[in-house]
Structure 1
Amino acid sequence: MTRRTTSLHIASGAVLAATLVPAQLAAQGAEDSLIPLGEITIIGSGIPTEVMDSASSVTIVNQEEISRVPPTSVAQVLQDVPGISVTESGIERIRIRGESSQRVAILLDGQHVSDHTTYGTPILISPTEIERIEIVRGPSSVISGNRAIGGVINIVTKRGADKPVELSGTAGYIGTNDGYRAAASIAGTVENFDYRLSFSRSDLGDRETPDGPLVPSGSEDRNILAFLGYRFGNHYVGFRAQDYDLSADVYTGDPDLVIDLPKRDLRKYSAFYEGENLTPWMSMLKIDAYTQTIDRKFRNDITFPTGPFSMNVLSTSDDEQTTSGLRATANLEFAPGHRSVIGFQLEDDSLQTDKSSTTSMIPPFGPPTVSTGYADASIRTASLFAQHEAIFGNVIGTLGFRYYSVESDLDSYIVNGAVLPGQSNSDDRFLGSAGLVYLLPNDAVLRANISQGYTYPSLSELYLTSAGGSGTVIGNPDLKPETATNYEIGLRIDRPGVVLDAALFYTRSRDYIATIATGTARTYTYQNVNRADSWGLEVAAEFDPGWLGGVRPYITLSNVTREFSYANGFTTRNSGVPEWSGTTGLRSDWAAGTVSGTWDLFVRAESEAAQQDEAGTIVEQTGGWGTLNLRGTLDLTENAVLSMELGNMFDKTYRSIDQIEGPGRYVSLFVTATF
């Protein structure tokens, strides 16, 4: 079956139509421009497979698609993938199919970026350093490991270039925050060596909305990335080093509540080996190792009334998180029509944290109360995994499993000068997955998939005591992991003029960790008490009806119904997730004389959403919204490209649930030059 190279350009919002076609546009090979499904992915099954033939819900955002979007942030590149939403709490994070960002695995070059906060893992890399992004929607812990209940985001960074010296630079204005991003790199290949050295920086001001700026809501980041690779025969070794600094202000909308994130920095060093066709039955052997340190500082300052007085609580946390990991995989082909991957993974994740909380009365009434805490805790994970693929005529079947062995310890814990006893937690379990793909005539496939997800409790949830304005939360060393099982069926079509990727899914998630009142005023603890059932539909489609100028309509659509059950037995579908979201629009490649480029006119929209607490009270509610946007590129010269986005063209006021207000009308402009 012939596959064309295609890659999914997708979005999140409920579907509206838009038409506006400049008369001077001319067609440029429409068939080659339709959404690609022929990209090769490994993240879905561990075996190199075209997206078209994958049993999982996989999306690849390749370099060509990334280059069409002004590089404001990685999360903004991903917001147009079905099932994905971007959360903004000072730092952008990713949710998939309604699951919180702490249940989504974030990988850099296949290696986990771990996190022990309740906010979830942020994306700690500049968008200008990315070669491609691989996304798996739905539980995927058999291949991708821990924290993959919602899905997986694997960000693959750039390596060398196809000539001895390649210089590249990007600079632009970001209208959403009246800020900028600039980047420069030098890369190349000299004989058997390839290399890259890059630098990027951004400085974003406060979010500009139709109702005025959100003060404070700015951020800054700086990224240095170095890569060196060497190829000898069918062997390849490489080394990466990354130095990333990030700081952000969190907009709360309340002058009596201030949250600062002055530091969220990553230092990472990794090395890898890749061997191809080492034996007649081993097509690939990969070994990689890494060590990374994440420095995090957090400050929470809240004032609230208490009778005739006001109370101020100032909480700070200074964390250092160190992770080392080793992973080895082998792709095996012992017989025609049969492929396997086997592997093992080791990870040692430790956290050292200094916390303090100062409580004082306003006006002063006695001395302030100060509490301090120091903790040193760690998680050690060992796992074995395997996946086998068998082809029988037009049927491709996959079967996989993963065995986990996890141990965690609180090695040192000092509260207000008193040394407390250590604690521990462990877990062992098997996870499984199974997939089936049926190849239909005329470049179409039916697929079905069953997969499991797994999220081991964070060190904060297990052992630490955290104080803030809403109260004190105490860790629980008896927590169990959160788990999920996903069932889905899908259809893919990749024909001249039509590309379609659609899926129906149902996910059962159990043992969600939540904060539960202890009976002492303003004191809570973590417990495995909540659960959720989610089901829905995801569609990405593009058509080439042969219109003037090669104009192609497209649509991406997500439907998620999420039924959330609290510890007290109350069940609600108002779980803070919009039922419908997606994008629809028109796009085309164009040429006018010696000038060419692309344009994309689209509506991004979302339905209303509400969230109920365990008492059935609506704690937050937002209305549905839609924005009209225009995005495009212009080839200035053979070596320089201008990318532009005019967003929220009607300057509409809108907000997604649990998010800050969306930006007003804005323009973002970037120029990228490569020599």
Structure 2
Amino acid sequence: MNLKIRTQVVAAATMLMMPHMAGAEDMGLMRVDSTTIDDRFESKRGEPSNISVISGNKVEEAHAENIKQILDAIPGVTAELQSQDSLKIHIRGVENQRFMGEKPGVAVVIDGVPVFERTGRVNINMDDIESIKVIKGGASYLFGDDALAGAVIITTKRGAKMAGGQLSGEAGSFGYKRGLARAGFAADKVSGHVQVSRRDAKGYYYQGDYKADYLNGKLQGYLSDSSDLTFGWEVAKRFKDSHGTVTGISQAALDPTSVNGRDFARHYNVDLGKFYLTYANDISETSNLMLNIYQFGDHTKYWSSPIRYSTTGAAVTDVNAYANGNDYKQVQRGIKGEWRGSSETLGWLGAVDLRDNSYKNKVTILQSHRASPSPFSGVTAGTVTADDKTKERMYATYGELKFAVTDALSATVNGRYDHMKLSYDDYLPAAAAASLSKNFNVGSWRAGLNYDFSDSASLYTNVSTGFRAPTIQQLFAGTINLTGGVAANPNLKPEQAYNFEVGMRGKLDLIGGIEWDIAAFQIDRKDFILNVAGQYANPATGVTDQYQNIGGMRNRGVELAVKTDQQQLFSMDLAYTLLDAKFTRYDNYNLLLGNRFSPAPGASRIVTYNNSGKTVPRTPKHKIFLAARINPFAGFTLTGEMNAQSSYFADEINQEKIGGHTLFDLVANYDFTTGANNGVKWSLFGRMDNVLDRTVYNTARGYYDSNGDFSYNAEDLSIVVNPGRRWTAGVTATF
């Protein structure tokens, strides 16, 4: 049995049980590897879904500044980067719509703890990754709400291998710096480590400073030869300013760093805290128990909504003039338990998932101003415009059965049932509704087959589901805000996604070994929640704004992954995605032309579109990643990477097309040892991104006439320009 797999849960206990467990595996036990607590299984054998795994070693060798540079190597996965490490993860084109503020449709789980910002962004400590596992397709059968297109499961470093110390330092373009120090120990009954790290940079973009300080560690006790208890913690302080958004292709060309622009939101101060306790026990040769208790906290303060008019009605251009001071506190608490068993023909998993999440939101006016030139639109500094709390309580049970139909054919069935209770409390004195609530009961499932042609090739297929519950704002918009113009709809149903997948995976005994995986998929989104009046209200239609289950989307494609043995003189990785993402129903979309802030007659008008059949924005049809490595002598590796994608539409009406691009990166690593008994391992690296200094857009979005000239075109797009060629270099000493 692979020692690395076992050490992630039971560490030193593995060495005591190795002969015993190896014998159990030789018996051909049918095992269930699915888990939402501790991703200790890396084997794909018998798995009916498309799964990709990236080891911590690969993450370290990449010396990435953000996780996008890692996930590019997985077909079907995109990370939409605005700047620095502010990004969202997408799988198979789901949820790549209008704003960066939408949920991602992907479950992100770190050490069993679901982590996300309300906007769907994630904060990930790049210095503490042991492995990344990506499950593609509807994954609500394991993770519940919002796992429409899959899950990203990150396991952090732990165990006896962390004993000793490590010092690391890096520097790079635009003032980038990184420093890390770690100390750990390992004894017969306990092991642990503490790590402190910082990343900061001035940034390419105007007001693009960012800083991330992390303190994290693990303490793992081996209670017996078959059980252990792990306590993990991580606290972080992060600051990030403007994302560098510019308006229109002219500003993108002349002012790519956004000196003359104002982002809608900036000046983020983020305090994070993640704590968990995991108990694991191999009760017998054929059964295992895991329990997990966790808490994840996110306290974020930021500015939003640039002030456009002063108290006198004069235009305001001050880059630091913002209307809203946002104070957002998120706490996610939960308990999970998983019990699995195995026999020669049957494997099973039974589990519970209990969550208690709360989201507090308070908005205070920072400066007195007018919302429009009208003298009646004045707002006074210090006014509290929002003060509310949303609670989510989730009670779920889930399970899996895996059974051998024949020696070569195995079947897997998963099921999960979620009971969700949403509640909302508004603390403003003039609140329209002081307290609201809504419950949902949702079932999710997966059914799949895996057929082994041989020990080196298999065919797999599955059908799986995902869901997303309506938000409080969608359910009760008109009740929460009587002046907002959107009617409440407490009868909304959860959105549903149905994933169909068929693929083949295998290994070839060529050039040290080739792993390959190819899959075809289709995701159908049903009961998509949209506003019946479209993007903006159009009084001429006489239609009352209201969120309803009236949208649809279909994403189809093919994914190919090929990997060769990195220990050979030459090696390579290939990831290719063919994606066709279309709206199957999107009947009413309103494009606003003119000045939306002016109340004057004729200052704006609306053009209505039917977007059914149109391509989902920011979903290039072709995407390819290629990494080629050479190891000319011991310890040295030179890697060239190519990231290419075809054109995509920046908007839902499919008017503004962004051209495709190809970027090249280079990474050099050199490892050697010094000292008595070669006790110190040194790692030197250099990395250069966008070697050819190509001018491309990280992202582009269009949804209204932003300059108010009654013409919607490329000058109205919200664009983040890629920083161009940049470098990082550093050294690490491990002892």
| Aligned equivalents of 1:625, 1:453: Cα separation in 2 | 32
Q: 1:582 to 1:52 in 2, by over 3 A?
A: farther
Q: Could you report, residue by residue, the CA deviation over 1:506-549 in whole angstroms, capped at 9, with x for unpaired residues?
A: 1101223345445579x966443322100001111135799xx8
| Aligned equivalents of 1:463, 1:356: Cα separation in 2 | 22
Q: 1:589 to 1:461 in 2, by over 3 A?
A: farther
The residue matched to 2:434 in structure 1 has which SS?
coil
| Aligned equivalents of 1:199, 1:413: Cα separation in 2 | 39
Q: 1:472 to 1:98 in 2, by over 3 A?
A: farther
- For residue 563 of structure 1, the aligned residue among 553, 574, 582 is 582
| Aligned equivalents of 2:693, 2:116: Cα separation in 1 | 38
**Alpha-carbon offset, residue 598 of structure 1:** 1.5
**Alpha-carbon offset, residue 265 of structure 1:** 2.4
Match of 2:605 in 1: none
Q: Which has the larger radius of gyration?
A: 2
Match of 2:208 in 1: 217
Match of 2:231 in 1: 239
| Aligned equivalents of 2:373, 2:643: Cα separation in 1 | 49
Gaps of 5+ in 2: 6-31, 96-102, 248-259, 589-609, 674-679, 701-718
8 Å CA contact 1:134–1:154 kept in 2: the answer is yes
Aligned partner letter, 1:369:
V
Q: Which moved more, 1:345-354 or 1:455-464?
A: 455-464
Match of 1:630 in 2: 666
Aligned partner letter, 2:73:
D
TM-score by length of 1: 0.83
Q: Which moved more, 1:248-257 or 1:60-69?
A: 248-257
How many percent of aligned residue pairs carry the same amino acid?
20
Q: Does 1:421 align with 2:437?
A: no
Q: Does 1:405 align with 2:396?
A: no
- For residue 219 of structure 2, the aligned residue among 217, 228, 231 is 228
- For residue 93 of structure 2, the aligned residue among 94, 98, 101 is 98
| Aligned equivalents of 2:566, 2:198: Cα separation in 1 | 42
RMSD between superposed Cα atoms in Å: 3.3
Q: 1:466 to 1:427 in 2, by over 3 A?
A: closer
Q: Could you report, residue by residue, the CA deviation over 1:396-429 in whole angstroms, capped at 9, with x for unpaired residues?
A: 210111111111111x213464463321111112
- For residue 574 of structure 1, the aligned residue among 595, 610, 615 is 615
Aligned partner letter, 2:87:
E
Q: Could you report, residue by residue, the CA deviation over 1:380-404 in whole angstroms, capped at 9, with x for unpaired residues?
A: 1011111011122111210111111
Aligned partner letter, 1:495:
L
Match of 2:171 in 1: 173
8 Å CA contact 1:425–1:478 kept in 2: the answer is no
Q: 1:44 to 1:624 in 2, by over 3 A?
A: farther
| Aligned equivalents of 2:490, 2:331: Cα separation in 1 | 21
The residue matched to 1:103 in structure 2 has which SS?
coil
Q: Could you report, residue by residue, the CA deviation over 1:187-227 in whole angstroms, capped at 9, with x for unpaired residues?
A: 221221111111111112222xxxxxx32333211111121
Match of 2:201 in 1: 204
**Alpha-carbon offset, residue 451 of structure 1:** 0.9
**Alpha-carbon offset, residue 121 of structure 1:** 3.4
For 1:81-480, list aligned pairs within 5 A: 81-89=74-82, 91-100=86-95, 102-116=104-118, 119-122=119-122, 124-162=123-161, 165-175=163-173, 177-207=174-204, 214-233=205-224, 234-249=226-241, 250-253=243-246, 255=260, 257-258=262-263, 259-276=265-282, 278-279=283-284, 281=286, 283-303=287-307, 310=315, 314-333=323-342, 335-356=343-364, 359-360=369-370, 365=375, 368-370=378-380, 372-391=385-404, 392-410=406-424, 412-415=425-428, 417-418=430-431, 420-441=433-454, 443-462=456-475, 477-480=490-493
**Alpha-carbon offset, residue 303 of structure 1:** 4.9
Match of 1:532 in 2: 553
Q: Could you report, residue by residue, the CA deviation over 1:97-128 in whole angstroms, capped at 9, with x for unpaired residues?
A: 11125211111112211443xx3131x23111
Match of 1:603 in 2: 642
Q: 1:534 to 1:419 in 2, by over 3 A?
A: closer
Aligned partner letter, 1:598:
T
Q: 1:512 to 1:171 in 2, by over 3 A?
A: farther
TM-score by length of 2: 0.77
Q: Could you report, residue by residue, the CA deviation over 1:164-204 in whole angstroms, capped at 9, with x for unpaired residues?
A: x41012211243x4311211111221221111111111112
Q: 1:159 to 1:48 in 2, by over 3 A?
A: closer
Q: 1:640 to 1:380 in 2, by over 3 A?
A: same
Match of 1:32 in 2: none
The residue matched to 1:50 in structure 2 has which SS?
coil
Q: Could you report, residue by residue, the CA deviation over 1:304-361 in whole angstroms, capped at 9, with x for unpaired residues?
A: 589x96489723321111111000000112x312100110110011111112456516
Aligned partner letter, 1:624:
G
Match of 2:521 in 1: 505
Q: Could you report, residue by residue, the CA deviation over 1:74-100 in whole angstroms, capped at 9, with x for unpaired residues?
A: 333223221111223452221111112
Q: 1:160 to 1:5 in 2, by over 3 A?
A: closer
| Aligned equivalents of 2:371, 2:261: Cα separation in 1 | 14
| Aligned equivalents of 2:57, 2:212: Cα separation in 1 | 24
Aligned partner letter, 1:407:
K
Aligned partner letter, 1:53:
G
The residue matched to 1:99 in structure 2 has which SS?
coil
Q: How many residues align?
A: 615
